[in-house]
Structure 1
Amino acid sequence: MIYRFRVILDNDTDEAVFRDLEIREEDTLEDLHNVITQSFGFDGTEMASFYISDAQWNQGEEISLFDLSDDGSARLMNETRINDVAHEASPKLIYVYDFLSMWTFYVELAEIVEEAEGFDYPNLMFVQGQVPDAAPEKSFEAESDDDDSDEIEDGLDVDDYEHLDFDENWN
């Protein structure tokens, strides 16, 4: 079977930037990583991870390109088949490329179809929008409550070193 994915760049512009891709269900997440990077014009040399996602796009288990864990327990893209993590019951993944720039993509399984005779897979079906020169800025702010009673006002000026209890030139 062939999985058709829509891969949407998370950006703050009005222009939608996405790619529609086809790939075999038994291919690995590393194969999907390769077609995503190629279709968006990246060289594919940066660290990347997929995250299993729920219906609200909450980030779940990480599946990484390389094992950077201390104990070698990381789940890897080249060992994970696409149909093991994406299917009709759980069609959403989050893909992050280049952890310094944090290119973030929403990957959603659009449909599952029969393999067409004479087609090569993976296949780039459709391109919409231009990829910006730099990754969109991310705002990592905590959710705020309406109750501000937890805020602490300490009155310290972080630029005023004279009143602090340490030597700013300690080294």
Structure 2
Amino acid sequence: MVYKFRVILDAEEDVFRDIAILEEDTLEDLHNAIINAFGFDGLEPGSFYTSDDEWSQGDEIPLFDTGDTPGEQKTMADYPLNAILNEDATKIIYVYDFLNMWTFFVELAAIEESESGATYPDLLFAHGEMPASAPENAFSADMDDDIYGEFDDDYDEEDMDMFNDEGFEDIGGYDDHNWN
């Protein structure tokens, strides 16, 4: 059987690719198909994340074993597509390049018979141009939470006086005019 995916870039503009791949291929094969379909060089790692119907991010499935003990953590190569995705579980999230965080919604759109003579994976359709840089995600902290605790409330002008030039001039005989 062939799994047909729609892979959508998490961006304001519509940028997506439709990919056909064999059901027994692995998540690593899908990773390679996605980076090729979107024109990445493939030099950066990526991860898939399990997801529910509301696109909530679940467990990570990395490209490489990053566990403390080699072989302890399963990777993309350990998961055939049909072990993760089926008619009931159709959505996963893919993140490529953790510095830039290219994020994609990957949805299983159809399961069909393979076509004789076809080679898989196959890019079926491409829509939209890739932006020059990864779109910003709208991740933000709850502004009601004070990440500094009481530090910024208790720190006032009087406390800042300890950092003035006079305070440093007396330390070890150095002054701010002769650092060399």
Shorter-chain TM-score tier: 0.7 to 0.9
Shift of 1:162: 6.4
Secondary structure in structure 2 of the residue aligned to 1:163: helix
In the alignment, residue 8 of structure 1 is paired with which amino acid? I
Question: Could you tell me which of 35, 49, 70 is aligned with 1:51?
Answer: 49
Residues 1:81 and 1:134: Cα distance change in structure 2 (over 3 Å) = same
C-alpha displacement at 1:17, in angstroms?
A: 0.2
Secondary structure of the structure 2 residue equivalent to 1:121:
coil
Q: Which residue pairs with 1:64 in the alignment?
A: 62
Match of 2:172 in 1: none
**1:30-45 to 2 correspondences below 5 Å:** 30-45=28-43
Match status 1:5 vs 2:1: no
Structure 2 Cα separation of the partners of residues 162 and 135 of structure 1: 44
Give 1:83 shift: 0.6
Spell out the pairing of 1:110-149 with structure 2 (5 A cutoff): 110-142=109-141
1:68 partner amino acid: T
In 2, distance between residues paired with 1:10 and 1:114?
A: 30
Identical amino acids, percent of aligned pairs? 52
Structure 2 equivalent of residue 91 of structure 1 = 90
1:71, CA displacement in angstroms? 3.0
Residues 167 and 89 of structure 1, relative CA distance in 2, 3 Å threshold: farther
In proportion to residue count, which structure has more helix? Answer: 2
Between the aligned partners of 1:137 and 1:60, the Cα distance in structure 2 is 21
Count of aligned pairs between the two proteins: 163
Measure the CA separation in 2 of the matches of 1:69 and 1:163. Answer: 45
Q: CA deviation at 1:129?
A: 0.1
List 4+ stretches of structure 1 deviating above 4 A: 150-155, 157-162, 164-169
> Could you tell me whether the CA contact under 8 Å between 1:3 and 1:113 is conserved in 2?
yes
Where do 5+ consecutive residues of structure 1 fail to align?
none
Tell me the secondary structure at the aligned position of residue 78 of structure 1.
helix
Q: Find the aligned partners of 1:163 and 1:2 in 2 and give their Cα distance.
A: 67
Q: Distance in 2 between matches of 1:115 and 1:98?
A: 32
Q: Is the radius of gyration larger for structure 1 or structure 2?
A: 2
2: CA distance, partners of 1:143 / 1:110: 35
- Gaps of at least 5 residues in structure 2 are 169-180
What is the TM-score normalised by the length of structure 1?
0.84
CA-to-aligned-CA distance 1:68-99 (integer Å, 9 cap, x gap): 12134322011110111111110000000000
Deviations 1:19-70 (A, max 9, x none): 0000000001010000100000001110100001000001111111001121
TM-score by length of 2: 0.80
